[in-house]
């Protein structure tokens, strides 16, 4: 028996005095004052209107791939629990690092100029917005 149940059983019942019906309950409907709707970002709404079918198409197109990826992850977790696979992974890790390091360096060398340009554009755009706002 739990402590709460024991407490509830041992309590003495509390009896209230007789309850009488109210003479008549009145309901009042309170309507909020109508305010002007907030100004919405019209350009954002227009862009979302035109882009939404493509977003839906992307969801429908990628859904089977997401399902296959989830199955692959679950299968990979099951296989990773096997001792033989752990031993093979331990043996192949240095080779994967030797092969992957130059490829990763090449990807950095190719992408960093674009990342820097995007960061420079972002910071310049923010500075321009602040300058126009003043």
Residues 49 and 73 in one domain: yes
How many domains would you assign to the chain?
2
Run of H or E including 40: none
Q: Is 72 helix (H, G, I), strand (E, B) or coil?
A: helix
Per-residue pLDDT for 50 more than 90?
yes
pLDDT band at 8 (very low <50, low <70, confident <90, very high): low
Q: Is residue 20 part of a domain?
A: no
Tens digit of each residue's pLDDT (9 = 90 or more) over 65-116: 999 999 999 999 999 899 998 899 899 999 999 999 999 999 999 999 999 9
Q: Is residue 87 part of a domain?
A: no
Range of the domain at 59: 43-81
**Exposure of 132 in the CB half-sphere (CA atoms within 13 A):** 6
Q: Is residue 109 part of a domain?
A: yes
Beta carbons within 10 angstroms of residue 47's beta carbon: 11
């Amino acid at each position: 028996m739990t402590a709460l149940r024991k407490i509830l059983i041992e309590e003495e019942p509390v009896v209230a005095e007789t309850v009488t019906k109210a003479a008549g309950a009145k309901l009042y409907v309170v309507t909020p004052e109508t305010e002007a709707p907030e100004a919405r970002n019209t350009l954002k709404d227009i862009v979302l209107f035109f882009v939404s079918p493509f977003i839906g198409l992307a969801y429908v197109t990628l859904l089977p791939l997401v399902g296959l990826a989830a199955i692959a992850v679950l299968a990979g977790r099951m296989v990773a629990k096997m001792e033989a696979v752990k031993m093979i992974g331990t043996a192949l890790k240095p080779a994967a690092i030797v092969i992957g390091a130059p490829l990763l360096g090449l990807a950095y060398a190719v992408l960093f100029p674009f990342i820097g340009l995007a960061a420079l554009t972002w910071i310049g755009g923010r500075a321009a917005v602040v300058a126009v706002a003043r």
